[in-house]
């Protein structure tokens, strides 16, 4: 997962990340999303003991789809993913268009990761209701898939209505892989109903194994099985050793996404070097 805060994600920084990722046969680059951040907020960040996201309000993130479009122009092989696109606070028709355009221009290399969001103040700044954001996510996923896969496209739901229309171009991938982030029961049900992948965050192997049991139950309820789902675990800031790669695989992970800890372009090669033992351990398990 590549940091995309504006204080470090300069054009040159992103170019070097792309160059190193391609040269080292990295499978995928993920970038995150927050359209605004705050100095003071009441919401609780779920991946920190103090409930505070470990960046200040002044640390804005680049738009993920614009960032990935830039990176698509500097790569030919590596896949490009959002982790996570905050779908319920976006317009789904525009989002479908942007993702389809990115997939078209990148030669079919997009992974669309979505989350429901945790920062209520961000929703309020956008004029989007915070309640029912899970149900809104489900409907918006149905809208974007209709726009990607049907021609003409149409959707009629409780929270969104799309009249029969045509959106072109369609993505090159059929379908665009959808990955759902989150560890709640609702997130696991969303994975089971609608997703090609699941992205659990900040979990150690033991916690992941427990979550996999809950995912299996959700998949069984939908008539699906675990091999249908790509499980991309991101340890986040947890120290991860090559030996733990096998532990994650035994717990059920199929892919490991590590955070690239480089704070300017000069640090990027060394940051990739630090991740090479994890990459080699994962390759040995493939």
Longest dimension (CA), the chain: 52
Per-residue pLDDT, averaged over 27-43, amounts to 96
* Three-state secondary structure of the chain: CCCCECCCCCHHHHHHHHHHHHHCCCCEEEECCCCCCCCCCCCCCCCCCCCCCCCCCCCCECCHHHHHHHHHCCCCCCEEEECCEEHHHCCHHHHHHHHHHHHHHHCCCEEEEEECCCCHHHHHHCCCCCCCHHHHHHHHHHHHHHHHHCCCEEEECCCCEEEEECCCCCCCCCCCCEEEECCCHHHHHHHHHHCCEEECECCCHHHHHHHHHHHHHHHHHCCCCHHHCEEEEECCCCCCCHHHHHHHHHHCCCEECCCCCCCCHHHHHHHHHHHHHHHHHHHHHC
Alpha-carbon distance of 83 to 34, in angstroms, equals 11
Domains and their CATH numbers in the chain: 11-285 (3.20.20.30)
What confidence tier does 239 reach under pLDDT thresholds 50, 70, 90?
A: confident
**Has residue 7 got a pLDDT over 70?**
yes
More confidently predicted of 147 and 283: 147
**Has residue 29 got a pLDDT over 90?**
yes
**Has residue 285 got a pLDDT over 80?**
no
**Has residue 242 got a pLDDT over 90?**
yes
What confidence tier does 57 reach under pLDDT thresholds 50, 70, 90?
A: confident
- Give the per-residue pLDDT at 282: 87
- Give the per-residue pLDDT at 78: 98
Q: What are the pLDDT digits (tens) for 141-152? A: 999 999 999 999
Q: What are the pLDDT digits (tens) for 75-113? A: 999 999 999 999 999 999 999 999 999 999 999 999 999
Asked if residues 148 and 171 have their Cβ atoms less than 8 Å apart, the reply is: yes
What confidence tier does 286 reach under pLDDT thresholds 50, 70, 90?
A: low
Asked if residues 126 and 142 have their Cβ atoms less than 8 Å apart, the reply is: no
Per-residue pLDDT, averaged over 186-212, amounts to 96
Per-residue pLDDT, averaged over 258-283, amounts to 94
Single out the residue of 112, 87, 94, 81 nearest to residue 35, CA to CA.
87
**Has residue 236 got a pLDDT over 70?**
yes
**Has residue 1 got a pLDDT over 90?**
no
**Has residue 116 got a pLDDT over 70?**
yes
What confidence tier does 269 reach under pLDDT thresholds 50, 70, 90?
A: very high
pTM for the full model?
0.96
């Amino acid at each position: 997962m590549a940091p995309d805060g504006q204080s470090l994600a300069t054009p040159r920084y992103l170019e070097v990340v792309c160059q190193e990722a391609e040269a080292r046969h990295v499978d995928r680059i993920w970038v995150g999303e927050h359209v605004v951040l705050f100095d003071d907020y009441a919401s609780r960040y779920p991946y920190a003991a103090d409930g505070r996201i470990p960046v200040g309000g002044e640390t804005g993130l680049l738009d993920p789809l614009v960032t990935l479009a830039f990176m698509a122009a500097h790569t030919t092989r590596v896949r490009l993913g959002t982790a996570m696109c905050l779908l319920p606070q976006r317009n789904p028709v525009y989002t479908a268009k942007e993702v389809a355009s990115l997939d078209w221009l990148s030669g079919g290399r997009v992974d669309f990761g979505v989350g429901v969001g945790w920062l209520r103040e961000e929703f309020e700044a956008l004029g989007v209701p915070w309640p029912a954001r899970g149900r809104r996510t489900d409907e918006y996923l149905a809208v974007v898939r209709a726009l990607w896969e049907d021609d003409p496209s149409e959707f009629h739901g409780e929270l969104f209505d799309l009249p029969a229309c045509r959106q072109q171009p369609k993505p090159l991938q059929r379908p665009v892989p959808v990955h759902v982030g989150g560890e709640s029961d609702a997130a696991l049900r969303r994975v089971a109903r609608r997703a090609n992948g699941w992205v659990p965050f900040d979990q150690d192997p033991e916690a992941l194994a427990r979550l996999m049991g809950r995912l299996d139950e959700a998949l069984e309820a939908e008539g699906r099985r675990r091999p249908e789902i790509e499980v991309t675990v991101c340890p986040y800031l947890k120290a991860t050793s090559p030996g733990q790669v096998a532990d994650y695989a035994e717990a059920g992970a199929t892919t490991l996404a590590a955070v690239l800890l480089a704070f300017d372009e000069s640090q990027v090669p060394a940051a990739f070097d630090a991740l090479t033992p994890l990459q080699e351990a994962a390759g040995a398990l493939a």
